Homo-oligomer: A and B are copies of this chain.
Amino acid sequence: MDKSKVSMAVVRRLPRYYRYILELSDAGVDRVSSSSLAEKMGLTASQIRQDLNCFGGFGQQGYGYNVANLTQELASILGLDQGRKAIIIGAGNMGRALINNFNFRKCGVALTCAFDTETSLIGAHINGVLVRHVDELDGFQKQYKPEIAVLTMPKSAAQRMGERLCKNGIKGLWNFTTVDLHLEGIDVPVENVRFMESLMILSYRL
């Protein structure tokens, strides 16, 4: 599979496919047709077949999709089976909300450490995750080579921190600050969590 040939519109639908197929799997369903999956998801059957064909298909005419097989294929496409390590920069409210409530494991990611500058937090464990001082970050990256950094620090520090993390080998940034990071010449994907877009869509739908 050549990832560069798959449009981001298709990629953005993959986690939804994964979520729905996981629900079927959890409910003990063995196989599903593209049309019944389409109905559940509010898409058309032909769109589903077209999307999944970008990655090799996985369905059989007259049978549909084998749920266990498709679950595993989607997990593999999404890289959820890679055993990746993440660190979180900023143990304020947003950071703590994620550390306490977000299921990193369900995304195949191990959250290994938190970093902050607030001395009262250093050395504490939040939901089992140790908070270290940001001064230890570079050394930590060299030693443990986490792939993903979650940015939950104040936005004023986001750009510099993003650059620093990338310089020390981070492979992807999950950005909760409202700052658009400018990482020209650095080939590291940034996934921005944009609360504003979500509230605007709700506002539209009222």
Q: Give the distance in Å from the alpha carbon of A193 to the alpha carbon of B204 in the complex.
A: 16
Q: Which of B16, B84, B195 contacts A206 (CB 8 A)?
A: B84
Given contacts A15-B201, A198-B191, contact A206 B171 (CB under 8 A): yes
- Asked if A142 is at the interface of the complex by the 8 Å CB criterion, the answer is no
Q: Give the distance in Å from the alpha carbon of A100 to the alpha carbon of B200 in the complex.
A: 19
Name the residue of chain B whose CB is nearest to the CB of A203. Answer: B79
Stoichiometry, copies per complex: 2
Q: Is the CB of B204 within 8 A of A14?
A: yes
Chain B residues with Cβ below 8 Å from A202 are 148, 172-174, 189, 191
Chain B residues with Cβ below 8 Å from A148 are 199, 202-203, 206
Q: Give the distance in Å from the alpha carbon of A96 to the alpha carbon of B195 in the complex.
A: 14
- Asked if A197 is at the interface of the complex by the 8 Å CB criterion, the answer is yes
Q: Give the distance in Å from the alpha carbon of A166 to the alpha carbon of B189 in the complex.
A: 39
Q: Give the distance in Å from the alpha carbon of A108 to the alpha carbon of B15 in the complex.
A: 30
Q: Is the CB of B108 within 8 A of A197?
A: no
Distance to closest chain B CB from A36 (angstroms): 18
- Asked if A78 is at the interface of the complex by the 8 Å CB criterion, the answer is yes
Chain B residues with Cβ below 8 Å from A11 are 201, 204-205
- Asked if A27 is at the interface of the complex by the 8 Å CB criterion, the answer is no
A residues near B, CB below 8 A? Answer: 3, 8, 11-12, 14-16, 18-19, 42, 77-80, 82, 84, 92-94, 96-98, 100-104, 106-109, 147-148, 171-174, 178, 189, 191, 193-206
